[in-house]
Amino acid sequence: MASASANAGNVLMVSIVLLATVCACTAETPYAAGLSEDFYQKTCPQAASIVDAYVTKFLRKDRNFAGAFNRLQFHDCWVGGCDGSVLLNSTETNQAEREAHVNFGLRGVAEVDQIKAALEYACPGVVSCADILIMAARDATSKVGGPTWPVALGRRDGVQSTALMADSNLPFPVLNFSGLVANFAAKGFNAREMITLSGAHTIGRTQCNGILPHLYNFTGKDDATDTNPAMDKNFAVFLKKHCPQGNTTNTIFIDSTANTFDRAYYKNVLQGKGIFITDAALITNPVGKKIVTRFSKPGTSFFTEFAAGMVKMGNLEVLTGAEGQIRRTCQFVN
């Protein structure tokens, strides 16, 4: 964990970067229309503290949940906007986002439901599941040594969720550099922001499902020797021990310091120790390699740029006002 003084410095730097990037300056704000930092001030002033307390409880049990909460925000916002749709259950007639191939192993849904239940007890029908995801991702990141950032609230929950939408929008872990750039560009993010947000892999874990193409089927041969040649050989041996050919469900940490938000992810990528093909792809482009190299070093702007990227992500296609609904439980529409 970062020291108190380091965290205070991070907060200050995040505020400076956010203001600098959005303020040229008149009435512009860094938030989508309808969102504000004090949205629940009158209707549920304890909302943020309730979310924070539950995130603290979950991380005491398993610090690796920080990665799960980060992933939930990304996988929600990237598919039809930040509307909590990733939390919805499938029905007899619809396969929801959580059943998508790209959402394999998604964690944290039950924990979000616990937070929602506490908020419904304190302030019935007020706080959206979509806003819970935004607050939880921020709180979890800061609690494991990462930056914090201001969150604007007021999102409402969507009522539609399909696996096809998730598989059509989220980046699969086998994309090359140009594929990643195109995927992020479709959401209004440039290549630098893509590399910055890839830094979320500094926390969390994955099941072997997303790693196998990196280890056994890199060129389509589908055999034990068909491994990405750019991968560190000793690291490949380590991964194959934990993810035998054909095993999709074993879990492995994505980063060497997976319970702490730091710059180790970028150092690992430079050493040929990226878990996914998408990680290794970041340094196949000279501009990408330059950014990864910069972010791997202390004193650079990775933390502040990551915070700004999360704020920007939280603005994607939000529902506000009379749109959508405030779901009573996050896994079901009202």
**pLDDT tops 60 at residue 24:** no
223 carries a ligand binding annotation = no
DSSP one-letter code for 218 = S
Higher pLDDT, 150 or 8: 150
Higher pLDDT, 209 or 114: 114
Which residues are identified as catalytic? 75
Q: How many Å apart are CA 87 and CA 105, to the nearest integer?
A: 13
Over pLDDT 90: what percentage of the chain?
77
Arch. (CATH architecture) of 46-204+254-314? Orthogonal Bundle (1.10)
Higher pLDDT, 208 or 187: 187
pLDDT for res 258 = 83
Mean pLDDT of 31-41: 94
Tell me if the bond preceding 25 is cis, omega within 30° of 0: yes
User: Are residues 195 and 295 in contact, defined by beta-carbon separation less than 8 angstroms?
Assistant: yes
262 carries a ligand binding annotation = yes
Residue that the structure tokens 């603005």 belong to: 315
204 carries a ligand binding annotation = no
pLDDT for res 74 = 97
Q: How many Å apart are CA 81 and CA 101, to the nearest integer?
A: 19
Encode pLDDT of 196-207 as tens digits: 999 999 998 898
Predicted structure pTM score = 0.88
DSSP one-letter code for 298 = T
Encode pLDDT of 314-329 as tens digits: 999 999 999 999 999 9
DSSP one-letter code for 325 = B
In three-state secondary structure terms, 252 is strand
85 carries a ligand binding annotation = yes
